[in-house]
Chains A and B, each alone.
Chain A
Amino acid sequence: MKILSSAKRILALGSKEWIQIYRDGRSLVLSFLLPVIMMVIFGYALSMDVTHVKLVVLDNDKTPFSRSLIEEFSHNEYISVINFASNNGEIDSLLNGGEAAMGLVIPVEFEKRHLSGKSADIQLLVDGSDSSSALVSIGYVQAIVLDFNQANEISEMKQNGIKNPEIPVDIRSRIMYNSELKSKNFIIPGILAIIMAIISALITSLTISREWERGTMETLISTPVRRFELFTGKMIPYIFIALFDVIVSVCLGYFIFGVPLKGNFTELYLIALLFLIGNSSLGILISSATKSQVLSVQLSMMITFLPSFILSGYVFPVKNMPAIVQAFTYLVPAKYLILCIKGIALKGIGLTLLWSQILFLFLFCIIVAIGSIKYLDLRIPE
Chain B
Amino acid sequence: MIIKFSKITGFIRKEFLQMMRDVRMRMVLFAAPVIMLLLFGYAVSTDVKSINMAYIDEDKTELSRELIGKFTSSGYFINYAGIKSPLEAGLQMDSGKIEVFLHIENGFEKKIRSGSVASVQLLIDGTDSSRASVIVSYVNTITQAFSYNFFRQRVMLSLSAINSGRQKGGKAVKMPQDVELKQRVFFNPDLSSTNYFLPVIQGLIICLLTIMLTSMSIVKERETGTIDQIAVSPITPWELIAGKTIPFALVSFIDIILITALIVFWFKVPFKGNILFLMISAAVFIISTTSVGLFISTISKTQQQAILTMFFFLLPSIMFSGFIFPVSSMPPAAQVIAFVNPVKYYVDIIRGIFLKGVGFDVLWPNLTALAVIGSVLFYVSARRFGKSLE
Contact = CB atoms under 8 A, between A and B. Distances in A.
Contact of B216 (A51, A182, A294): A294
Given A47-B329, A146-B148, A183-B129, A128 B187 contact: yes
Interface stretch (A3-11, A148-156, A217-225, A272-280): A148-156
Interface residues of A, number: 127
Interface in A313-335: 315-317, 319-322, 324-325, 328-329
A175 interface: yes
Contacts of B326: 47-48, 130, 133
Interface of A: 24, 26-27, 30-31, 34, 37-38, 41-42, 44-52, 54, 69, 95-98, 113-114, 117-136, 138-143, 145-146, 148-150, 152-153, 156-157, 160, 162, 164-179, 181-183, 185-187, 195, 198-199, 202-203, 206, 210, 213, 290, 293-295, 297-299, 301-302, 305-307, 309-311, 315-317, 319-322, 324-325, 328-329, 339, 342-343, 346-347, 349, 353
B196 A131 contact: yes
A146 B134 CA distance: 18
Interface in B258-297: none
Given A48-B129, A325-B42, A347-B94, A203 B115 contact: no
Which 6 pairs across A and B sit closest by C-beta, in order of nearness?
A: A139-B137, A45-B334, A178-B126, A165-B154, A128-B188, A168-B150
By size class, the interface of chain B is 35 or more
Contacts of B133: 50, 132, 136, 181
Residue of B28, B119, B129, B223 with most partner-chain A CB within 10 A: B129
B134 A135 contact: yes
A168 B139 contact: no
B185 A301 contact: no
Residue of B49, B95, B145, B307 with most chain A CB atoms under a 10 A cut-off: B307
A120 B305 contact: no
Contacts of A122: 179-182
A27 B329 CA distance: 33
B173 to A, nearest CB: 5
A282 B334 CA distance: 34
Contacts of A133: 326
* B contact patch SS: helix
Contacts of A165: 115, 151, 154-155, 158
Contact of B320 (A45, A143, A203): A45
A127 B187 contact: yes
A136 B179 contact: no
B331 to A, nearest CB: 6
B125 A177 contact: yes
Given A46-B330, A353-B95, A169 B119 contact: yes
B281 to A, nearest CB: 16
Which of A183, A328, A339, A353 counts the most B-chain CB atoms under 10 A from its CB? A183
B87 to A, nearest CB: 14
Nearest to A353: B95
Contacts of B189: 128
The binding surface of chain A is classed by DSSP as helix
B387 interface: no
A174 B197 CA distance: 31
Given A132-B193, A293-B303, A320-B47, A172 B120 contact: yes
Interface stretch (B2-10, B231-239, B348-356): B348-356
B254 interface: no
Contact of A311 (B28, B43, B220): B43
Q: Which of B143, B177, B330 has the most CB of A within 10 A?
A: B177
A114 to B, nearest CB: 5
